[in-house]
Amino acid sequence: MLYWKYDINMEYCKFCGDPRYKPTKDRNSRRKKSSYAVLRYLSLTPRLQRLYASPATAEHMTWHACHITEEDSMCHSSDAEVWRHFDRTHPDFTLEPHHIRLGLCIDGFSPHGQYRRTYLCWSVIITPYNLPPGMCMKSEYMFLTMVIPGPSNPKRLIVVYLEPLIDELLQLWHVGVRMHNHVTKPGLHNACGFDVDRE
């Protein structure tokens, strides 16, 4: 269970009754309570806004819509049948090439090195696929959004951990976000994020 939104003030799990905080030896202590586990979440929206605010990346954010690839070859995700299916399913989204398309990757790693695998963490990385292949696979454009705590594979519980990210992505999809586009100028545009008028 995540203690956020409506459950932020709860001290016990509403499903199993386990405590949220580790017990303290001194009940009168003024020290901050220590949680059993902490999910580290880094908001995605400000980083997406910076893609258009920076002249180094803003001009490349429509590459996926402009490039031409030979028939039966694939050099980018935009050449895939899945991308074309999305374009057919959401034509209003596709009309605006500044809308951001994202890829999600989840990978487990051992923070204590390769020889000690008793504790694993899981990183959740978002990649904007608007950029050309030479850019979108570089580490500076792979946005670490959260680190899921261990000690083991979250398996089916991963949906619980992904709630903050899903919430932010739904907010972007349904409401959108205003951002400054360095290429098209002047002022703020709805040219990025996700469609503002979507129902």
- Alpha-carbon torsion 162, 164, 166, 172, what sign? negative
**124 or 194, which is more confident?**
124
* pTM confidence score: 0.79
Mean pLDDT of 120-141: 89
Domain spans of the chain, in order of start: 1-36, 40-64+76-189
10 Å CB burial of residue 99 (0-12, 13-18, 19+) is buried
Q: What is the pLDDT of residues 77-100, one digit of tens each?
A: 877 788 888 888 988 888 888 888
pLDDT of residue 117: 67
Position 170 confidence tier, pLDDT thresholds 50, 70, 90: very high
Mean pLDDT (whole number) for 38-53: 90
Question: In percent, how much of the chain has pLDDT > 70?
Answer: 87
> Is the backbone of residue 48 left (phi > 0), alpha (psi -120 to 50) or beta?
alpha
pLDDT reported for residue 137: 86
pLDDT at residue 166, rounded to an integer: 94
Statement: residue 60 has pLDDT above 80:
yes
> Is the pLDDT score of 192 beyond 60?
no
How large is the average pLDDT for residues 108-125? 79
What integer is the mean pLDDT of 35-57?
A: 88
Q: What is the mean pLDDT of the chain?
A: 81
Determine how many CB atoms are found less than 10 A away from the CB of residue 140: 7
Q: Any residues with CB less than 8 A from the CB of 133 and at least 6 apart, and which?
A: 75, 76
Mean pLDDT of 183-194: 46
pLDDT value at residue 189: 42
143-172: average pLDDT: 89
Q: Of the spans 27-41, 110-124, 153-167, which averages the highest pLDDT?
A: 153-167
Asked if residue 124 lies in contact with residue 144, where contact means CB atoms within 8 angstroms, the answer is yes
